[in-house]
Amino acid sequence: MSALANHRFLKMNGLGNEITVLDLRGTPLRVSAAEARAIAGDPRSRFDQLMVLHDPLTPGTDAYLRIYNTDGSESGACGNGTRCVAWAMTADPVMRGPTGGGLVLETKAGLLPVERVSETVFTVDMGPPRFAWNEIPLSTAFEDTRAIAVETRLLDAPELTNPSAVSMGNPHAIFWVEDVQAYDLPAIGPILEHDPVFPERANISLAQLLGPEHIRLRVWERGAGLTRACGSAACATLVAAARKGLTGRKATVSLPGGDLLIAWRGSDDHVLMTGPTEIEHEGVFSPALFSRFETRPQHEDIS
């Protein structure tokens, strides 16, 4: 049976983006893809992203995060999940440590400084965006990623063409549309996510400009599906809008779950995301959840 049985978890959300937080600091345990899928399949711990805390790898950081999607694949970034982890590490009576209002968390995409704004609101420094085709990555060498040659023809809906492509530690494609509700995103999201131009798949966003400081957004998340909120997609969308001259470097991004304030800082090109967190419940994983797994040591390198 899995060594994860009976481990405590927190079920949280960031604007409705379902997040499960699991603290494995101080242990050699590591979550496998199959175990992540099992956790996602339990209604008590169901997630869009599973945020797993490990001991720090880099001096000066507070934890190393591994981020899992519902299909067991890993992601390099999750802004909503990072805010939830920050709440857990500063407010949860079990997980919190001797930290003040600030943390530095590390993922495979880099370091993520986090500052507390209020009791449940945090700002995450998501780092600089990347625009080069081979950094996003894309399978074709596009010189200008503000609009790349991807399109799909749909019945009873306008065409989707020429999305902006951005990496925020994970690949994003943003299609600019007149009305985000005019498309069946659950139907077209999987098709676009797996388009050959995206060798590592992509998060697919439909973005509607409401004004020079306001964007409406719907997101199909790579490996997770339709979501009420996606922090990295909101960051990618603001950056893409600013690059196209549609907005300045700061805007409110409205998702089905609520609003995020996104700012693309001019001094160092870092993108700052500010938004709320919510704790739903805590629990422990049932041994029955992992009944098909053999007991095994989990000492794999997390780097």
Please state the three-class secondary structure of the chain as a single string.
Answer: CCCCCCCEEEEEEECCEEEEEEECCCCCCCCCHHHHHHHHHCCCCCCCEEEEEECCCCCCCCEEEEEEECCCCEECCCHHHHHHHHHHHHHCCCCCCCCCCEEEEEECCEEEEEEECCCCEEEEECCCCECCCCCCCCCCCCCCCCCCCCEECCCCCCCEECCEEEECCCEEEEEECCCHHHCCHHHHHHHHHCCCCCCCCCEEEEEEEEECCEEEEEEEECCCEEECCCHHHHHHHHHHHHHCCCCCCEEEEEECCEEEEEEECCCCCCEEEEEECEEEEEEECCHHHHCCCCCCCCCCCCC
Active-site annotation holds for 230? yes
Catalytic annotation, pick one of 12, 63, 78, 188: 78
Catalytic annotation, pick one of 126, 230, 236, 239: 230
Residues catalogued as catalytic: 78, 230
